[in-house]
A and B are shown apart, each in its own frame.
Chain A
Amino acid sequence: MNEQSNIAASTREPVAFNAALAEPFNVLIVGVGGQGVIMVSKVLASLAQAHGFEVKQSEVHGMAKRGGTVFSHVRFGPKVWSPTIAKGEADVLIALEWAEGLRWLPHLRRDTGVFICDTKRIVPPFACRSRRPGAPMRYSTETAEQVSAYVSEAYAIDATRMAEELGNDRAANVVLLGALSTVLEFSLPEWERTVTSFVPKKTIAVNTAAFELGRNWIAEAKTAPPSDMPARSAPTQTNYTPRLEITDAWCKSCEICVKLCPEHCLELDADRIAKLVAPEKCTGCRLCEWLCPDFAIRVHLDAEQPALEAAR
């Protein structure tokens, strides 16, 4: 399982809950809309409540269709007053997406907090700062070492890939629940009963398997030596060189491509035929191809060519 790794192993036993638990226990669950953040928090809340704790759960949701950030605070204990977790007070931070995990790290207790994070990357549209195909994205650049230096105990687990391999990538959140089960002292039957009650009947088998996978993975990781972040979380960088094929005989000199090119890299030549005069500016956005009423322009994106930066 070289796709996943623990960042910093620990031999600490699961957090002990008992009647003596004086302060509420704080679990922060974060991710991107549609990943199943709320389901994780509901399982946990339900479990804690069944265990006799007072539970408070607070969430921001409704972003499922927008791919926006979603988070949920779960607090439980003999007495819970506030529904939200203050900065630096989360006992466990469980993240379904890498950058979301990093975003919420300051909420984790630096001394004792446990960080469990899926290495899944969902790149937000606003992180795409260049229209050039294959251009680097402004995604979180923090390395695994930096993260492990910040927290006491951290696990980067490729839960989505594990769920995919089980045949249902939507079960990634249950893989994480399995991981979470190793750091909380609820009994395994309690966990399984609760998880089962929250997933659709048809998916009980796959979710049970997902839960076990996550739980076993953490157990293994605790004994294995630390290693780097999984390779999968590194950005995939493909370089494209846009190339314009212009059928001169079809061009009617309407100038729509010249005037509407966002990079202003086309001009009409002496024969009033459209020509790409600034190829280095062309991002291959295809607007000229789409808007040419005469079908005279075809944009080719040649992949695996030397990067444009290098060409300059």
Chain B
Amino acid sequence: MFREAPHFDVRDYLRKEMMPHFLCPGCGHGMALRALLWALHELKIDRDKLAVVSGIGCAGRLSAYIDANTFHTTHGRPLAYATGLALARPDLHVVVITGDGDCLAIGGNHLIHACRRNLKLTCLMLNNEIYGMTGGQVSPTTSETRLTTTTPHGNTEPNFDACALAIAAGAGFVGREVTRHVPKMKELIKHGLQHPGFAFIEVLSDCTEVYGRKNDMGSSSEMVMRQKSEMRPSAYRDSVDEPFRSTDLPTGVLARNARPEYGAALRAAAAARAAK
């Protein structure tokens, strides 16, 4: 029997009055947004109880398109806002959408502490290696030698492996996927949403208009196709000509642990003290 998702129509989850969205043609963020909405649909998460908190940048704008309780906050701080929101309202399902600059540069401190604390949040970091909204400046994940508007001679800084960072900081769940694999992305996000602690999911997304163009990476479709050959999944390395990313980054579920969830631990400690 052919299996499909007959009941999932992404448009049911979008604020249609906001469409078409403001992202550039071919931007990978739309695919990531679809995967998130698909995952939410399959888990039957009540949108009245869903809060999506986002930061600033192209990724930060995505919250406005989701038909839920959405909060577009300040640059780098969505995890901190979400921490307050999730602690104050444990009945809500809180999802954070952030970008590589938002999450790893200006918001890097909040990321590592959110990982350490392990409060139940799902953090979706869309990594397109660039500050797209501000016109294509170098970001903490820009690959070495890449051209950006602030690295006119090629990036000389080494880049962050965000997942390795999250794992080291103790995140309960860490995973990575490329936008090309929408169903796999959806499955990964589902795992993250179901994880009882802090879930960090990195989505490798394409910025075609700014990053791709500046670096002669071809059309949107070529960039998507190259995710298989040139982007990191190690399984495809044999068929690769020249990896454009300096490191080999595995995809899928990268870490999962059963550390105590922060909110529950906090409430348990308070209850124990009250009982004395």
Direct contact between A and B judged by beta carbons closer than 8 A:
yes
Size of the chain A interface, CB-CB below 8 angstroms: 25
The segment from A13-21, A24-32, A55-63, A250-258 found at the interface with B is: A250-258
B183 adjacent to A290 (CB under 8 Å) = yes
Q: Mark A224-263, 1 if CB is under 8 A from B, else 0.
A: 0000000000001010100000000110111110111000
B10 adjacent to A256 (CB under 8 Å) = no
| A42 on interface, CB distance cutoff 8 Å | no
B224 adjacent to A249 (CB under 8 Å) = no
| A144 on interface, CB distance cutoff 8 Å | no
Per the bound structure, the CA–CA distance linking A252 and B208 in Å amounts to 13
Smallest beta-carbon distance A296→chain B, Å: 8
Residues of A within 8 A of B28 (CB): 293
Smallest beta-carbon distance A269→chain B, Å: 16
A236 adjacent to B1 (CB under 8 Å) = yes
For B14, give the chain A residue with the smallest CB separation: A295
Smallest beta-carbon distance B105→chain A, Å: 24
Per the bound structure, the CA–CA distance linking A295 and B33 in Å amounts to 10
| B221 on interface, CB distance cutoff 8 Å | yes
A291 adjacent to B182 (CB under 8 Å) = yes
Residues of B within 8 A of A291 (CB): 31, 179-180, 182, 224
Per the bound structure, the CA–CA distance linking A258 and B14 in Å amounts to 24
A258 adjacent to B221 (CB under 8 Å) = yes
| B93 on interface, CB distance cutoff 8 Å | no
Residues of A within 8 A of B27 (CB): 293
Size bracket of the B interface: 20 to 34
How many A-B pairs have beta carbons closer than 8 Å: the answer is: 77
Residues of B within 8 A of A292 (CB): 30
Contact of A295 among B34, B224, B225 (CB under 8 A): B34
| A294 on interface, CB distance cutoff 8 Å | yes
Q: Specify which of B29, B34, B180, B221 lies most central, judged by the most chain A CB atoms within 10 Å of its CB.
A: B221
B11 adjacent to A294 (CB under 8 Å) = no
Per the bound structure, the CA–CA distance linking A40 and B221 in Å amounts to 52
Instruction: Knowing A293-B23, A295-B14 are in contact, say whether A254-B4 is a contact too (CB < 8 A).
Output: no
Residues of B within 8 A of A294 (CB): 20-21, 23, 25, 30
Q: Mark B1-35, 1 if CB is under 8 A from A, else 0.
A: 11010100111001000011101111111110010
Smallest beta-carbon distance A283→chain B, Å: 10
Per the bound structure, the CA–CA distance linking A206 and B208 in Å amounts to 60
For B219, give the chain A residue with the smallest CB separation: A255
Q: Contacts A295-B19, A298-B11 known; list 9 others, CB within 8 Å.
A: A254-B25, A255-B26, A255-B220, A255-B221, A258-B221, A259-B222, A260-B224, A293-B27, A294-B30
